[in-house]
Structure 1
Amino acid sequence: MKRVITFGTFDIFHVGHINILERAKALGDYLIVGVSSDDLNLYKKGRKPVYSEADRLKIISSMKCVDEVFIEHSLELKAEYIKDHQAQLLVMGDDWAGRFDQFKHLCDVVYLKRTPSISTTEIIEVVRDPSSK
């Protein structure tokens, strides 16, 4: 059984999230998703997510393509997460291209093309200021 792992915040869930999760699952048999904690997102992006980590976990775990979900507490623990979940493949969006190559000694690493013209940040900006679109 090929175990695939991916990571993300998955805030303001949209079709781009669905696409990457379905495509990641198609590359293996078992999909594991690390959802960034609220604190990690604050550290990474300078803001808390719109949806709480509990809500984001529930959204991701409800997808039929997702087999397992866990909270990612630290960027520095990626290697441990990969090992602990016995992943053979790490999948990330191509906006992260090259940034996870250091894990190629633990598993294969693939960067998938993002869905064009959609991002959580863009959605948040439009909601805050509808005239910006």
Structure 2
Amino acid sequence: MRVGYAAGGFDLFHVGHLNILRQARSQCDYLIAGVVSDEMLEVTKGARPVVPLNERLEIVHHISFVDQAVPEVLRDKMDTWEQLRFDVFFKGDDWRGTERGLRLERQFAAVGVEVVYFPYTVHTSSTALRRALQALSRPETLGRNAQAGVQE
């Protein structure tokens, strides 16, 4: 049985997240989705997620492509592998060719784990959604919304 692991923040769950999970499941028999903890997202992305970890885990757990959803609390992916022993690691292709991606490929190759990249969904991201939400909550935007009759 080929076990796959796809890690992500999965904050403000969107079609890009769904695409990664769908593609990952098509290339393994059992898919584990690692949902990055609030604290780790704050360290790596510089911002806390909008949706807290327990809710993101619940959402990802109920995606039909996912066999198991686990909190990702370890920064080092090799430590995560030590716990879960997956055979293939899935990542968006925004990591391909980067220093972090190449290092990860070398580390995983040493233990027989294949790294598979999927196309990054460029037209949507949690970061873009967060920016849109922030723009909508600015006082000047709230004033325009009120003038236009938009309900808050």
Please report the TM-score for the alignment, with normalisation by the length of structure 2.
0.81
Distance 1:93 1:12 in 2: 17
3-state SS in 2 of match to 1:95: coil
Consecutive unaligned residues of structure 2, counting only runs of 5 or more, are: 142-152
Task: Give the deviation of 1:119 after TM superposition.
Answer: 0.8
Residue in structure 2 matched with residue 116 of structure 1 by the alignment: 122
Task: Give the deviation of 1:116 after TM superposition.
Answer: 3.0
1:97 aligns with 2:96: yes
Q: How many residues align?
A: 130
1:48 aligns with 2:44: no
Distance 2:95 2:69 in 1: 21
3-state SS in 2 of match to 1:96: coil
Residue in structure 2 matched with residue 126 of structure 1 by the alignment: 132
Task: Give the deviation of 1:37 after TM superposition.
Answer: 0.6
Task: Give the deviation of 1:47 after TM superposition.
Answer: 1.2
Residue in structure 2 matched with residue 37 of structure 1 by the alignment: 37
Distance 1:95 1:6 in 2: 14
Q: Is 2:74–2:80's contact at 8 Å kept on the other side of the alignment? A: no
Give 1:9-24 correspondences, 5 Å limit. Answer: 9-24=9-24
Deviates more, 1:65-74 or 1:4-13: 65-74
3-state SS in 2 of match to 1:117: coil
Task: Give the deviation of 1:55 after TM superposition.
Answer: 0.3
Percentage of identical aligned residues: 35
Distance 2:114 2:135 in 1: 41
Residue in structure 2 matched with residue 62 of structure 1 by the alignment: 62
What code does the residue aligned with 2:119 have? K
Distance 2:75 2:92 in 1: 16
Please report the TM-score for the alignment, with normalisation by the length of structure 1.
0.91
Task: Give the deviation of 1:104 after TM superposition.
Answer: 1.9
1:81 aligns with 2:87: no
Q: Deviations for 1:71-100, whole angstroms, at most 9, x for unmatched residues?
A: 111222x11222322211001000111412
RMSD: 1.3
Which structure 1 residue ranges, 4+ long, deviate > 6 Å from structure 2?
none
